[in-house]
Structure 1
Amino acid sequence: MNYDLIVIGSGPGGYVAAIRASQLGMKVGIVEKAEIGGVCLNWGCIPTKSLLKSAQVFEYLNHAQDYGISIDGKATADFSAMIKRSRDVAAGMSKGVQFLFKKNKIEVIEGTGKLTKDKKVEVTKSGGKKETVEAKNVILATGARSRQLPNLPQDGKKIIGYRKALSLDKQPETMVVVGSGAIGSEFAYFYNSIGTKVTLVEYLDNVVPLEDEEVSKQLGRSFKKSGIKVMTGSEVTSVDTTGDKVKVVVKTKKGEETIEADIVLSAVGIAPNIEDIGLEEAGVEVEKGRVKVDEYYQTTAKNVYAIGDIVPGQALAHVASAEGILCVEKIAGMEVEPLNYSNIPACTYTTPEVASVGMSEKAAKEAGYELKVGKFPFSASGKASAAGQKEGFVKLIFDDKYGEVLGAHMIGANVTEIIAEIVAARKLETTGHEIIKTVHPHPTMSEAVMEAAAAAYDEVIHI
């Protein structure tokens, strides 16, 4: 079987690349060993958002009286039903991608793909049978898996990764979450909100440590207020799974503390899937644990490309999709510009949500910029007050000399929807004054962007 393009992996990088290639007239085959849509769609982004929505609805019901609504009886969280709903949502999305494959005449080749010496793709079927397919070009989009630490080995029962956290048979009474990045924080919020006693352990000094420090501290306060035990500047040194519960030894600045829990969730990052895909055989070089590529995702092997979590750059679904489209358009001979990795939005879907793009205030200062910084609290927002969601703020950072938007940092309700405004503004090289003069609808949460810009230039009205 001969193709113009073979894509190995059908995640948000692979399936988007395949569809764009088909739109550009290529004959495309996609190799997938598991569910269509990859980890993000089946075991990551989509099902977690389903669980988080269930948690949010549960919290609304528990605070219905705050909105003038009386409910007879007590709302209860049906954990199994929440899990089932999230699985159904993921399954529906996977079928949607399968439909798109049929619509775009993309052939799905089931099995595990591996490059050969002559840059063909050997596919091993579930029964062990092998077949070889050929293509003018190959894109590697094999994604990543949960990273394992030597002192925190996952057994899938008492010490689990994100995948198992999406499909537990029953709700644990107690849980220790190790790592407070997006994955760890989202699961900590979900399980805590439905009644699990959660301890969140973070090695660095703040939760969501890659975010601006003010945002990190605000989320830490929100977590503590909601009942999560937050242990920052702390490290899990050992775990004992021999008893009914897991004994977790946590080293803190004050000494060691032992915590007992039903489940330990390891959320300490991801490891790229670069093993056993034929990199060495095909002459594809690896650097610092990632596949080495140029700015258009060409590897060191001719006509072999790589995108997504296996290459340098942020390991995010929307990054993989953007890389896939750019890569395919370059293969097709279109004029494209390299992706600007400094203008990639990051989102954490806790309550309150966290969203950011560009430099933190600390990074901007260290880079030598003279800054104008504006903050607008949602406590001063009419829409936030009406919605009962006054927690958080929008913080904008501008270069004092030219008015360039250096960074945006948000924490609050729906900020993951608002951040795209700043991504577009940075792409268009918009200035602070232009944001101030952009009329925002009232009342909306998005007004806080205009107000934060105005605050930076001492023109703010509502604080």
Structure 2
Amino acid sequence: MAKTLTPDICVIGGGSGGLVVASAAASFGVEVVLIEKGLMGGDCLNYGCVPSKAMIAAGKHAQSMREAPDFGVLPPSGKVPKAGLQPKFDFQKIHDHVRGVIDTIAPMDSVERFESLGVTVIKDHARFEDKKTVVADDTTIKARRIVVATGSAAFVPPIPGLDTVKYETNETLFERTEAPGHFIVIGGGPIGMEMAQAHRRLGAEVTVIEGVKALNNDDPECAAIVLEKIRKEGVNILEGTKVTSVVKLAGNRVKVNVESDEGSSSIEGDTLLVATGRAATVDGLDLEKAGIEYSRKGIKVNDKMRTTNSRVYAIGDVAGGLQFTHVAGYQAGLVIRSILFRLPAKQDTRIIPWCTYTDPELAQVGLTEAQAREKIGDITVLRWPYAENDRAQAEHKTDGLIKIITNKKGRIEGVTIAGAMAGEMMNMWALAISQNLTVKDIAGYIPPYPTMTEIGKRAATTFYAPTTKKPIVRSVVDFLRSFG
């Protein structure tokens, strides 16, 4: 029987951003309808952040076994083969580990939990009927405000022959229970490089094909540190290489034909991952009926996350911009402040950090060096290498550095870290930029010894190094010394 609901808020999409809006609003006693046609938890829980980091963790354990003899840790035989320790793999158990992590987290995002919070959950496809109305299944929802949080899906480029072969995206990769032989990755962005390194560590031969530069959106100096380490582990990274076609071979094998400045060639493998970016999930929403402008990149929003229909907000991947789970959560908070409290909350992308979870990790907040030179001009770049940190030496994690970008007065404008635990270390720098701190603030705090965070403080103190060489400063020191 058809029915009509009139909640205060209707949320379309049960991913990270939509769930934050729904749970936060419900906690204030606000009536909320949440519509999700697929799995609760969205891409992050089921196909993205959670399973990928679980697989990366498995790869790290394998790599730790290989590196154990460097720390004097030997196999029971006490002998290390000339080729080094090579772990064995049970890919079914790796799959079970990944699946187990998802299943452990899933109850927090479940229909049952949200219904217990007072949210009405509809498991069906949603579409707009007009500027004020959403329809799902046999239910019509007329809400005061509507939030679109439908996320994004893997973008599959129109490569000739791709539709004739079996290929993986992040939505299918983690269902595999058999180890790849030769793992071919099309796309050298964060997802492609994370999965390339993880699968190499888990025993596969790996080739990455990238049309421009791998990790092209990151600081090139720091990205080069990461890529050098991945190459040393045996991943073949082909940059400036275009995929021209894909051919199906016998036994579920594929041949990828490529072109570069060096000419044409081909790569054969048994597993193909397409990691060429994301496309906003807007199909079937009938956004036109609601007067909402959009493109393949996402729904058009202002800095308050409002669409061209003032009743409707869009957050997360579907709103374009930075596509990270924590960004969706941040935008959800802005929308809650706007809808419930009428506060003038505006998005500030300057304070948003991100991290690529390769090994070494690659993290960023604020402006890169190139962006700062273009925007500010007169900047100072402060560096400190991991190799000059005692904890990094103890852990044999000496690949990497931190770069702190400041204006001429010492205010922190951006930070890039390439190295072990860069994502964890980035937290304090995200706070620093959000609070407009200066290197003086960082130089004044005391990190525990020995920790990786000392790297940041050492870099910050170099801001004052030129002062020690100024004649007037040295004259003052000499004068004060004369008093005994």
Cα RMSD after superposing both structures: 2.0
The Cα offsets for residues 30-66 of structure 1, whole Å up to 9 and x where unpaired, read as: 1111211101111100111111111111111222222
Query: Aligned residue for 2:133?
Result: 120
Match of 2:98 among 86, 90, 98: 86
Give the conservation status (yes or no) of the 8 Å contact 1:247–1:258: yes
Query: Aligned residue for 1:69?
Result: 73
SS of equivalent to 1:408: strand
Structure 2 distance, partners of 1:164, 1:170, is: 13
Is 2:379 aligned against 1:348?
Answer: no
Structure 2 distance, partners of 1:243, 1:119, is: 54
Match of 1:415 among 416, 422, 432: 422
State the number of aligned residues.
Answer: 454
The Cα offsets for residues 9-36 of structure 1, whole Å up to 9 and x where unpaired, read as: 1111100111111123311121111211
Query: Aligned residue for 2:9?
Result: 5
Stretches of 4+ aligned residues off by more than 6 angstroms: none
Unaligned runs of 5+ in 2: 78-85, 469-484
SS of equivalent to 2:87: coil
Structure 1 distance, partners of 2:192, 2:402, is: 23
Q: Kindly provide the amino acid, as one letter, of the partner of residue 46 in structure 1.
A: V
The Cα offsets for residues 70-110 of structure 1, whole Å up to 9 and x where unpaired, read as: 23376312111111111121122121222652452222211
Query: Aligned residue for 1:455?
Result: 462
Is 2:156 aligned against 1:148?
Answer: yes
Give the conservation status (yes or no) of the 8 Å contact 2:161–2:245: no
Shift of the alpha carbon at 1:157? Answer: 5.9
Task: Indicate the structure (1 or 2) with the bigger Cα radius of gyration.
Answer: 2
The Cα offsets for residues 138-174 of structure 1, whole Å up to 9 and x where unpaired, read as: 1110000000111167559632211222112311100
- Report the TM-score when normalising by structure 1: 0.93
| Mapping for residues 38-437 of structure 1, pairs under 5 Å | 38-72=42-76, 75-98=87-110, 100-117=113-130, 119-124=132-137, 130-151=138-159, 155=163, 158-205=166-213, 207-244=214-251, 245-286=253-294, 289-400=297-408, 402-437=409-444
Shift of the alpha carbon at 1:136? Answer: 1.8
CA gap of 1:156–1:222, structure 2 versus 1, over 3 A, is farther
Q: Kindly provide the amino acid, as one letter, of the partner of residue 54 in structure 2.
A: S
Unaligned runs of 5+ in 1: 125-129
Query: Aligned residue for 1:33?
Result: 37
**Greater Cα offset, 442-451 or 99-108:** 99-108
Give the conservation status (yes or no) of the 8 Å contact 2:183–2:206: yes
Q: Kindly provide the amino acid, as one letter, of the partner of residue 455 in structure 1.
A: T
SS of equivalent to 1:159: coil
The Cα offsets for residues 241-290 of structure 1, whole Å up to 9 and x where unpaired, read as: 24342111121221122111112211110000111112011111225742
SS of equivalent to 2:130: coil
Q: Kindly provide the amino acid, as one letter, of the partner of residue 164 in structure 1.
A: T
The Cα offsets for residues 354-392 of structure 1, whole Å up to 9 and x where unpaired, read as: 111122112211224212111111111111111221111
Structure 1 distance, partners of 2:331, 2:260, is: 40
Structure 1 distance, partners of 2:332, 2:303, is: 12
SS of equivalent to 2:175: coil
Give the conservation status (yes or no) of the 8 Å contact 2:115–2:121: no
Give the conservation status (yes or no) of the 8 Å contact 1:381–1:448: yes
Give the conservation status (yes or no) of the 8 Å contact 1:452–1:460: no
Structure 2 distance, partners of 1:48, 1:153, is: 27
Q: Kindly provide the amino acid, as one letter, of the partner of residue 75 in structure 1.
A: P
SS of equivalent to 1:34: coil
Shift of the alpha carbon at 1:346? Answer: 1.4
CA gap of 1:153–1:165, structure 2 versus 1, over 3 A, is farther
Q: Kindly provide the amino acid, as one letter, of the partner of residue 380 in structure 1.
A: E
Give the conservation status (yes or no) of the 8 Å contact 2:20–2:332: yes
The Cα offsets for residues 185-212 of structure 1, whole Å up to 9 and x where unpaired, read as: 111011111111101122223x211111
Q: Which has more helix, going by share of residues?
A: 2
- The percent of aligned pairs where both chains have the same amino acid is 30
Q: Kindly provide the amino acid, as one letter, of the partner of residue 230 in structure 1.
A: I
Query: Aligned residue for 2:83?
Result: none
- Report the TM-score when normalising by structure 2: 0.89
Structure 1 distance, partners of 2:216, 2:308, is: 34
**Greater Cα offset, 292-301 or 4-13:** 292-301
Structure 2 distance, partners of 1:459, 1:441, is: 27
Give the conservation status (yes or no) of the 8 Å contact 1:236–1:248: yes
